[in-house]
Amino acid sequence: MATYKDIIDEFETIANAFDSVNYFIYNRVSEINGRIQDKAYPLLLVKSTPNTNRGSVNNDFLPSRKEYSFNIFLYNTRDTNTQKTKSLQESQSEVDLILDQYIAEFIRRNISGDNGFSLVDYNQINGFLAHDVHNAKLVQSTYSLTIALDSSCSLGTFNY
């Protein structure tokens, strides 16, 4: 049975295999500001504080399936040199394409659900584009994804 860690490992595995992504982070968005020089771009960040939905429960009142809503960010630099040769629209288009390709690969690898999790409603993924974000001049594409995880909870031990 898959665990929450398996979902994050899959995000990282795909990012590391993707030639268009040079760095992967599983952390808060503020991590981008913390070590800006230590990173290579384009950079994929999976926000480490997803919302969760406990979902339906079994006869023991434990969740039989949980859903986690992740924010996925793809950043690239847009420094002064880039601004001289590329429009803002071109820079945004590039990060948007990379993130679309990344999510397509996630869907392709996990659509069967055989690994214990899958993307929920992959035809209704929403997000936004941004620019001039964080301490550096970065462009950003963001999507929110909901991943369903088959739960393997068991009852704990309680001593009354």
Per-residue model confidence as pLDDT tens for the chain (160 residues) = 788 999 999 999 999 999 999 999 999 988 887 665 677 899 999 999 999 998 777 777 887 788 999 999 999 998 888 888 999 999 999 999 999 999 999 999 999 888 889 889 888 899 998 988 776 689 999 999 999 987 767 788 888 9
Q: How far is CA 91 from CA 6, 56, 127, in A?
A: 32, 42, 17
Number of independent structural domains in the chain: 1
Residue 108 covered by a domain: yes
CATH number for the domain including 38? 3.30.2000
Dist CA 30 CA 141 (whole Å) = 16
Q: What is the value of pTM for the model shown?
A: 0.89
Residue 106 covered by a domain: yes
Residue 160 covered by a domain: no
Residue 156 covered by a domain: no
**Which pLDDT value is given to residue 36?**
56
- Check residue 35 and report its DSSP letter: T
Q: How far is CA 129 from CA 34, 58, 72, 93, 107, in A?
A: 22, 40, 12, 9, 21
Residue 155 covered by a domain: no
Range of the domain at 116: 4-150
Residue 19 covered by a domain: yes
* C-alpha torsion sign, points 20, 22, 24, 30: negative
Residue 157 covered by a domain: no
Ramachandran area for residue 5 (φ above 0: left; ψ -120 to 50: alpha; else beta): alpha
